[in-house]
Structure 1
Amino acid sequence: MKKRLLSASLSALAVLGLTLSSSLLANERVGDFALLDHQGLFHHMAWYDNHKAVVLLVHTNDSRTAAEALPAFQALKDAHADDFQFFMLNPLGESRDLVSAVAAEQNNDIPVLIDDAQLIAEAMGVRAAGEVLVLDPRTFTLSYRGPVSGLSQALADIDAGNAVSAPELAVTGEAIEYPARDSNMAREVSYTNEVAPILAENCASCHREGGIAPFALNSHTMAQGWSPMIREVLMTKRMPPGQIDPHVGDFVNSLTLAVEDQQAILHWIAQGSQFDGPQDPLAQLTWPETDWAFGEPDLIVKVPPQSIPATGVLDYINVVVPFEGLTEDRWVRASQYIAGDRTVLHHTLNSILPPGSNGRRSFLGGGNADEPSITAYIPGAEPYHEPENTGGLLRAGSQLALQLHYTTTGRETVDASEIGIWFYPEGFVPEKRMSGQCACIFTPTWTNIPPNDPDFEMAQTITVPRDAYLHTFLPHMHFRGKRMRFEAQYPDGSSEELINIANYNYNWQLAYKLREPKLVPAGTKIVATGAFDNSAQNPANPDPDRSVPWGQQSWDEMFFGAVTWQFVDQGPAAEQVAAQ
């Protein structure tokens, strides 16, 4: 991107070629936001509201001005780290590898937030590399913008509880250009042709009548009315739900919006969320009459209704359900769990009890290779369909053992859930089977999470015993879960990051599916590393002063990192999956 060296102040907007809408003055509101840094770590500005301010140095890979400002910025960070949170901001969305390389060359230990879509830099009116911005993480207003030379006095004023005496100073540095903003704001972003299709594809399946989301995006009127909320959840990465680090792996359900889609939506909102007709694509959307994902199931398992009281702590409920109507062995290709009342059903675990079994069951797998996969229920769960020509055999006379976890909501209710199962055609035997393992930590190897620890890490390793294709990754923690990463350590000594769930959310525990299965050699170690936030900054934390043990209830904690794979050789396994 072409840059030009300039000297600018906020009063010289015409010289900069910027509009008032994109150049905030000090003490104007930016709004909350979140970004990933150059190491893939998630940073939400509201999380830092226990600091007096967030301080950002605008930095680009080849900026001489920013490089010259860095030593002074680092010195101020070292002097004020207890009260202020320091970041660098890359407003160009430059390559993470290159940003990391430059940070290493400059001996920089300050996190570099990378603004892939340039929307955060645009919202703050970033003008030039080397510029410093000071943000109040409680009001999300700017209290200072200018060169690093004026930062010391600004921090002293804030530290003393005073207004910044010189909140706006001239900046000299390489100008930051915004090609997407300039292009979009020079025209009318089309609701009909651009924005509505994005909302239809990424939002409306949940935000619809009868959907799991709190309002329906079923018309332009609704999209326009909710546009401030849409802007907020995109800026903070709260929606789409369960989104992961887009720089690691390629997943069919990453739920991340493309950079161009984010820009189109937010620039449309900035233009007043206008309707350009003549038709409203959202109003024309239709949805299936039933929630079954693959048509009417071949078999429906009715889970015994459970009466849930208004209040109290409920023990896990164990039930065994027959596969009524199953008169012959059938190969399973898909399954779906539909909760009767998803406001109280938190999750389920299940296992197959084969005909004539003694009733012993494991809710963590470990059955025979032909055993079918019957999907459980987890927050954000999606219907499960086996990969092509893959399946398991459900034998007549089998039963389904279920473990049900409920949470009370203040009202009595009854949960009557159903599980739909779809079979392959009679006589068809799929050639492939799925396998997998959980990188889990249980007692007595569990280490309690210390009180008030904002970033307590745990790790566990599993070994893939034979050449295999990796398919999915599923993290599971409770209220204090913060992030989880999966890394492959190969027998030749090399390693590769497989997925980065940078902002784990207890409400959306998804099994992330690779778009193309990944081949790994026998002996590959999969390391799952997770972190817990047991601090008061975690709004979901029940008690930050508690040393947190392993436990089944949500106020205790768990660590599960499940991986599924398909062996290249589909013959009988000679080895067992080793958990370390």
Structure 2
Amino acid sequence: MKHLFSLFLLFLLPFFAVHRAQAQTPGPALTFSEHIAPLVYQHCTPCHRAGEVGPFPLTTYQEVASKAQTIKFVTGSRYMPPWKPDPSYRHYLDENTLSTTLIQQIKDWVDGGMPQGNPAVAPAVPTYPSGSQLGTPDLVVPMPRAFTHLGNGQDLYRVFVLPVNIPADRDVAAVEFRAGNKRIVHHAIIGLDTTQRGQALDAADPGDGYTQFGGYGFDPIEPNWAGWVSGTQARFYPAGMGKKLYRRASLLVQIHYGPSYTTQTDSSAINIFFARQPVRRYVQTVPAIGPATLTNGPFVIPARQVKTFRSQYVVPIDVTLLSILPHAHFVNKSWKIWAVKPNGDTIRLVKINNWDFRWQGTYRFTSPQRIPAGSLLQADITYDNTANNPRNPFSPPQEMRWGESTLSEMLLAYFEALPYQTGDESIVLSTAPGRATAPGTVQMAVFPNPAAGSSTVRFQLERPGPVTVSILDQAGRLVRAVVREKAFPLGPQQVPLPLSSLSAGLYLVRLETEGFSRSEKLVVK
């Protein structure tokens, strides 16, 4: 028996040797070019580049390597990317999370000395539109002058009245607020006014705009026409949906300037993109959850207590929801919002386990959500007003009540909503940043139009592919081949249209990609 056991061990020794050698063989070395650049460009660079919210750029190996230890720490702690909704509860467009595997890759790369690898195999830095997340706007409405925010450590809510002089009412496919100074601009709410009352309040307050906590000082025709918080990804509305912009209207832009101890200036602006397809359904932004819907109000958070408020609201009509935006301040800890249909089924809307005042956002559903009439819209919202909350602005803790000040508290949830129509659930929204489209379509626009000398065709691809752009005459004959079978990545793109030597008249700009073709009229002056 002993002899047989010895033979058995001799038989197994080669197996153990091979297994040990395999275990000790290191895996392929992680390099920036092959492994780190793709994930940085996807998850970090959209915000960490010139003109965006990130405090430093992450577009090159040198930039990433210089911040490598910081990147390792903030990704390892899941502080970055700053995506707050719980992905195990539901998913959204523009979701930005790192898997455990990717976080480990970053750590291993940093700990391994941050090798660059072969620069030739690194992906190209994505091309981003300048001054916009969506492309060239049809209308830019800027603040008239730079506004000075005093360095007195105080919050300021300032409403700027920006007249819009357009010859006729227009349908709007996207609204994009561009914060001029992201160090002091915390958020912006944009209202639409046709009464001139905003101008009267502006005239009564020295300087540009007027100071107003809690709204605009009156009820405009649309108090929540658009909005912005840090980190929000701008998007086009689905085809056939949008906003109305009235001629001779004014945009009321209420900007929340956060406390600062240095005097700074801000020059923010609004980019407006007109609809290229008829808009038949107008989206409303409604605050459906707030103090008035609480079942255990009033909204008072005692000092040294953790308190959960419960909200309940009966949905009066069939509605379609496009997005949700919860809003609170420093002592808030968590959100959970859901709807219970009349038949008892539950619709999950959002769950945030670790609220962060600095990273709020609009969370857009991957498909429109139908909430039937009679459904209960419910929410649990928890606040931690104890000394254990590191974000509590007071030490010792103080009783917290509703207020516009950063040091007060809020409880609001906004929804982009419109009356339900049959088939809304089947609308597929684009997974790429930019325009939301129906399946298989390509959105395009020609601007300026009419044009002389040159114009631009803007388009959005749902997936990478070859694109052909041509200029045709009214009979459909080729006048100029602009690009032929040129490969473009997914997302928003722009192609210049040279118009020199073209006679004045009406032309067609045709875009073709993967069996799909679309044309837009172009008037050459």
Q: Give the TM-score normalised by the residue count of structure 2.
A: 0.66
Consecutive unaligned residues of structure 2, counting only runs of 5 or more, are: 1-15, 202-213, 423-525
Higher normalized strand content (fraction of residues): 2
Partner of 2:495: none
Amino acid at match of 2:299: T
Is 1:348 equivalent to 2:197 in the alignment? no
Is 1:447 equivalent to 2:299 in the alignment? yes
Shift of 1:193: 2.6
Instruction: Please list, as runs of the form range in 1=range in 2, the aligned pairs for 1:278-357 lying within 5 A after superposition.
Output: 278-279=119-120, 281=122, 284-285=124-125, 287-288=127-128, 290-304=130-144, 305-323=146-164, 325-354=165-194
Distance, in Å, in 1 between the alignment partners of 2:272 and 2:345 is 41
Residues 94-142 of structure 1, C-alpha deviations (whole Å, 9 max, x = no match): xxxxxxxxxxxxxxxxxxxxxxxxxxxxxxxxxxxxxxxxxxxxxxxxx
Instruction: Please list, as runs of the form range in 1=range in 2, the aligned pairs for 1:3-18 lying within 5 A after superposition.
Output: none
Partner of 2:403: 551
Instruction: Please list, as runs of the form range in 1=range in 2, the aligned pairs for 1:45-194 lying within 5 A after superposition.
Output: 186-194=27-35
Contact 1:473 1:561 (C-alpha < 8 Å) held by counterparts? yes
Contact 2:156 2:258 (C-alpha < 8 Å) held by counterparts? no
Partner of 1:568: 420
Instruction: Please list, as runs of the form range in 1=range in 2, the aligned pairs for 1:530-549 lying within 5 A after superposition.
Output: 530-543=381-394, 544-549=396-401
Shift of 1:479: 1.3
Cα gap change, 1:342 to 1:191, in 2 (>3 Å): closer
3-state DSSP of counterpart to 1:266: helix
Equivalent of residue 283 in structure 2, options 429, 434, 439:
434
Consecutive unaligned residues of structure 1, counting only runs of 5 or more, are: 1-13, 19-181, 571-580
- Count of equivalent residues: 387
Contact 1:184 1:267 (C-alpha < 8 Å) held by counterparts? no
3-state DSSP of counterpart to 1:533: strand
Distance, in Å, in 2 between the alignment partners of 1:224 and 1:568 is 50
Amino acid at match of 1:429: P
Amino acid at match of 1:434: V
Shift of 1:310: 1.5
Percent of pairs with identical residues = 25
Instruction: Please list, as runs of the form range in 1=range in 2, the aligned pairs for 1:472-511 lying within 5 A after superposition.
Output: 472-511=323-362
Is 1:196 equivalent to 2:48 in the alignment? no
Contact 1:189 1:268 (C-alpha < 8 Å) held by counterparts? yes
Distance, in Å, in 1 between the alignment partners of 2:57 and 2:285 is 38
Partner of 1:218: 59
Distance, in Å, in 2 between the alignment partners of 1:562 and 1:289 is 28
Distance, in Å, in 2 between the alignment partners of 1:183 and 1:251 is 41
Is 1:517 equivalent to 2:357 in the alignment? no
Equivalent of residue 256 in structure 2, options 394, 401, 405:
405
3-state DSSP of counterpart to 1:376: strand
Residues 437-494 of structure 1, C-alpha deviations (whole Å, 9 max, x = no match): 32012699533212122x3212223333333332211111111121111111111233
Cα gap change, 1:260 to 1:212, in 2 (>3 Å): same
Instruction: Please list, as runs of the form range in 1=range in 2, the aligned pairs for 1:219-258 lying within 5 A after superposition.
Output: 219-258=60-99
Equivalent of residue 230 in structure 2, options 379, 403, 407:
379
Amino acid at match of 2:284: S
Cα gap change, 1:223 to 1:300, in 2 (>3 Å): closer
Shift of 1:243: 3.1
Contact 1:372 1:391 (C-alpha < 8 Å) held by counterparts? no
Shift of 1:435: 3.4
Residues 67-86 of structure 1, C-alpha deviations (whole Å, 9 max, x = no match): xxxxxxxxxxxxxxxxxxxx
Partner of 1:418: 269
Distance, in Å, in 1 between the alignment partners of 2:408 and 2:263 is 24
Contact 2:53 2:231 (C-alpha < 8 Å) held by counterparts? no
Partner of 1:469: 320
Contact 2:84 2:359 (C-alpha < 8 Å) held by counterparts? no
Shift of 1:335: 1.0
Contact 1:243 1:255 (C-alpha < 8 Å) held by counterparts? no
Residues 339-398 of structure 1, C-alpha deviations (whole Å, 9 max, x = no match): 121211222223211357798996699987xx6974223222332421222112211121
Partner of 2:240: 389
Shift of 1:240: 0.1
Amino acid at match of 1:546: Q
Contact 1:435 1:567 (C-alpha < 8 Å) held by counterparts? no
Shift of 1:286: 5.3
Contact 2:178 2:270 (C-alpha < 8 Å) held by counterparts? yes
Partner of 1:206: 47
Contact 1:307 1:414 (C-alpha < 8 Å) held by counterparts? yes
Cα gap change, 1:201 to 1:363, in 2 (>3 Å): farther
Contact 1:242 1:505 (C-alpha < 8 Å) held by counterparts? no
Distance, in Å, in 2 between the alignment partners of 1:225 and 1:287 is 22
Residues 388-440 of structure 1, C-alpha deviations (whole Å, 9 max, x = no match): 22112211121222323212422212212111111124xx5312232353201
Cα gap change, 1:535 to 1:251, in 2 (>3 Å): same
Distance, in Å, in 1 between the alignment partners of 2:36 and 2:242 is 39
Partner of 1:130: none
Contact 2:244 2:282 (C-alpha < 8 Å) held by counterparts? no
Structure 1 window deviating more from structure 2 (523-532 vs 262-271): it is: 262-271
- State the superposition RMSD in angstroms: 3.4
Contact 1:331 1:372 (C-alpha < 8 Å) held by counterparts? no
Contact 1:380 1:507 (C-alpha < 8 Å) held by counterparts? no
Cα gap change, 1:504 to 1:440, in 2 (>3 Å): same
Distance, in Å, in 1 between the alignment partners of 2:412 and 2:280 is 29
Shift of 1:510: 0.3
Shift of 1:239: 0.3
Distance, in Å, in 1 between the alignment partners of 2:368 and 2:322 is 5
Contact 1:372 1:392 (C-alpha < 8 Å) held by counterparts? no
Distance, in Å, in 1 between the alignment partners of 2:46 and 2:415 is 27
Shift of 1:314: 4.4
3-state DSSP of counterpart to 2:385: coil
Distance, in Å, in 2 between the alignment partners of 1:565 and 1:266 is 42
Distance, in Å, in 2 between the alignment partners of 1:430 and 1:403 is 27
